[in-house]
Structure 1
């Protein structure tokens, strides 16, 4: 039996109408709540009163009942699309990327349940991004219902009610921050139209794109943005802007193909000069302020993380502060991975205050990369920027373990992790 698409969207409208009626009823029956100074800092409801560490313990203890995550997530989406077929249209055709990144999002939330500030900041960014996907608060309720059903299916008769409540509280904390993040960005436009003006293959799996936004695109050196290709609608992926703001307003992105059929594949192999792109708002805290230049800075980059590092070096060069320098660590598996070597050499030649260290092989990853930096750089005073793939999160953790205060390490997890929780 097939379902008429009109019926699906009638269901959607009914669901949204019920949600709006529920909100109106609550607003009429409840006293007005005090307005928080910042929507992201507003209370998260009754669920925030529970101890995050206790919930983390409950979830971790019962994980063997519901994992592996790929099966849990497959069940979750199966339940959600079976009960609400219209939701399938909010997702890309291939769900592989979504499923893999939802698994990483679950790991992130579980690992940090006892660190609510990190969860709130991360999920606020995700909520901001969800605006581009057409996600409404009612969708989070549908997602929760599907998750609970998937948990019960996986665990069967062994499932525990206290663990289910812990999962629900974790999800509701995340959703509360996501909703507040979206609301805080209501006045912000969700995307910019742009045109590809240059497309250069540096390797068979890596392209450098220059794009021209139709209108000025505000950002700071070191930030990233989500890109969408018309070849894959509803799929957004984060990439660092590989240049400091330019007079002509053009942007550069370094795109490495990470697999077949995805956004990176479309941008590297199926995008041409003249093609349109959509660019989401600039994001990220890996930026320099005037107060950050009291000491030398250290910049570490791996893979196409060089894009963000390159923008930071250009920003430093424009500021021209006498007596201040920067040390750049480039982590590569082999020398062949130095795809933009000419640009590195040119920056070194023009800026004597820049010193570059290339770290190769196993020393360019995780703990070893952090230890190589600690041996060859003065990390005791200035800021340390870490730009690159998710594996560099281990490098950041090791830098902190070596005594570097968290406030002096800048690394944007969202630039290399899920663009959306569940989407």
Structure 2
């Protein structure tokens, strides 16, 4: 990481903490801009923007199934649109009213400016994020303790969060839902309201440096207004969540079942009730890697005894996954962040469920099956369990037992090694699926191929659910 020099650190912004909210040079006032500035902390002032996240996969991502990702725009063919009937990520906020995303030619002035900034810095995104953290830790060294020792993954997450917020500047309900979840999730890091001003100051410092070719007072003012509102949504969500839930839960490992040489099933007992929905996931921190959190899906529906189960696959160079699979033992204490994710069953309908699970991505699929059974529903559930080899079908016996118990459940194994029938072909062969909602969990490549196959057989995007592929970036170890 290149440390900033004292001559270039400010780049036209204030280096004095909260003072950054006021641009040095006031832009010319346009109709409505004075009111917008004064109401910057109101949701109506939101101007979310458009994103062009590169679709990259690491070996760890391909290996790590069933672990979540940042919600992508509804126009992304790989990511499902938000459904107004779905359960919101917990703790469940009030569902925002549905809004039609604005067309490009209808973009607000602030959205146009923010998109222009992001287009300018996209080729040097790594430098932008490295410079941002350098600024943050030089100007506010007390904040360094909130972050992990290794910052590579953290840099990626910042950029993806920024791009996601930028994508939805003109789609307030989607952005607010995303930011509320982000604000609640940040509680586990020890984030406080006063930290947001420091982050905003350094963010604008980094953007102004690397977007210098297009940066001007009006652009800075647009970022100030947008970030002010973004931070206020996150602060308010965290404050509301503090009244009803802890920032994290302690959980003791009570069982450690090594299913294969690199897959373990962990059962943990939280120190207090942990509310969640089948299909969701939790962030997990181990005692061996403080401040490094990784996402793992729940492998069962909520249980009467309060125990939680996770399926963990150790991936090469994966700090957390290797610690959980090869080092952890009963009696070890983990920390859990709040539950998240919207890949949940809509119990207000009687639609069938078409479930595609690959690798440890079978964990949340199993939870969905249990959820349907516990609700006493007899809606058809079709599960395609994908694996590279027979050896990777580590939970097939459990799924087959569920099939024997529930006549509405059908389980089919699709094994790459045999190559008799690839997943897209299997979906086409066993259809039609017009009356089904689709759920996918697994490696990013499987999710992308699965979404393509589902769309090709006529299942609309709004009936396809999975945790966003981008959140799996950096969560795979």
- Are the counterparts in 1 of residues 148 and 291 from structure 2 also a CA contact under 8 Å? yes
The SS at the match of 1:185 is helix
Residue in 2 that maps onto 1:350: 405
Q: Note the C-alpha offset of 1:129.
A: 0.9
Alpha carbons of 1:205 and 1:169: their partners in 2 closer, same or farther (altered >3 Å)?
farther
Residue in 2 that maps onto 1:81: 137
2:442 pairs with 1:388: yes
Given candidates 392, 413, 416, the residue that maps to 2:468 is 413
Render the CA deviation track for 1:288-334: whole Å, top value 9, x for unaligned.
Answer: 35423x23211122232211111111222334434x32101223344
2:329 pairs with 1:330: no
Alpha carbons of 1:406 and 1:184: their partners in 2 closer, same or farther (altered >3 Å)?
farther
Aligned 1:24-39 pairs, distance under 5 A? none
- Are the counterparts in 2 of residues 195 and 275 from structure 1 also a CA contact under 8 Å? yes
Q: Note the C-alpha offset of 1:83.
A: 0.6
Alpha carbons of 1:333 and 1:176: their partners in 2 closer, same or farther (altered >3 Å)?
farther
Q: Note the C-alpha offset of 1:113.
A: 3.7
2:38 pairs with 1:43: no
- Are the counterparts in 2 of residues 393 and 413 from structure 1 also a CA contact under 8 Å? no
Residue in 1 that maps onto 2:306: 249
Measure the CA separation in 2 of the matches of 1:267 and 1:415: 23
- Are the counterparts in 2 of residues 191 and 281 from structure 1 also a CA contact under 8 Å? yes
2:342 pairs with 1:285: yes
Residue in 2 that maps onto 1:69: 125
Residue in 2 that maps onto 1:191: 248
Aligned 1:264-343 pairs, distance under 5 A? 264-292=321-349, 294-322=350-378, 324-343=379-398
Given candidates 379, 395, 400, the residue that maps to 2:433 is 379
Stretches of structure 2 lacking an aligned partner (at least 5 in a row) = 1-15, 20-40, 50-101
Q: Note the C-alpha offset of 1:65.
A: 4.3
Measure the CA separation in 1 of the matches of 2:274 and 2:472: 23
Q: Note the C-alpha offset of 1:232.
A: 2.2
Q: Give the structure with the higher percent helix.
A: 1
Measure the CA separation in 2 of the matches of 1:370 and 1:139: 47
Measure the CA separation in 2 of the matches of 1:310 and 1:180: 35
Residue in 2 that maps onto 1:204: 261
Render the CA deviation track for 1:110-147: whole Å, top value 9, x for unaligned.
Answer: 34444332222122111101111111222222112112
The SS at the match of 2:242 is coil
- Are the counterparts in 1 of residues 282 and 337 from structure 2 also a CA contact under 8 Å? yes
Aligned 1:149-160 pairs, distance under 5 A? 149-156=205-212, 158-160=213-215
Measure the CA separation in 1 of the matches of 2:188 and 2:460: 35
TM-score (norm 1): 0.77
Measure the CA separation in 2 of the matches of 1:70 and 1:401: 36
- Are the counterparts in 2 of residues 196 and 209 from structure 1 also a CA contact under 8 Å? yes
The SS at the match of 2:267 is strand
Alpha carbons of 1:73 and 1:214: their partners in 2 closer, same or farther (altered >3 Å)?
same
Render the CA deviation track for 1:24-57: whole Å, top value 9, x for unaligned.
Answer: xxxxxxxxxxxxxxxxxx9326454997954555
Residue in 1 that maps onto 2:192: 136
Given candidates 286, 303, 309, the residue that maps to 1:229 is 286
Calculate the aligned-residue CA RMSD, in Å. 3.6
The SS at the match of 2:310 is strand
Render the CA deviation track for 1:196-254: whole Å, top value 9, x for unaligned.
Answer: 11112233332211112233322222222222212222222221110122232211101
Stretches of structure 1 lacking an aligned partner (at least 5 in a row) = 1-14, 20-41
- Are the counterparts in 1 of residues 160 and 470 from structure 2 also a CA contact under 8 Å? no
- Are the counterparts in 2 of residues 330 and 357 from structure 1 also a CA contact under 8 Å? yes
- Are the counterparts in 2 of residues 101 and 417 from structure 1 also a CA contact under 8 Å? no
- Are the counterparts in 1 of residues 48 and 171 from structure 2 also a CA contact under 8 Å? no
Measure the CA separation in 1 of the matches of 2:410 and 2:139: 58
Q: Which has the higher contact order (CA 8 A, sep 6+)?
A: 2
Alpha carbons of 1:91 and 1:206: their partners in 2 closer, same or farther (altered >3 Å)?
same
Which segment drifts farther, 68-77 or 182-191?
182-191
- Are the counterparts in 2 of residues 242 and 254 from structure 1 also a CA contact under 8 Å? yes
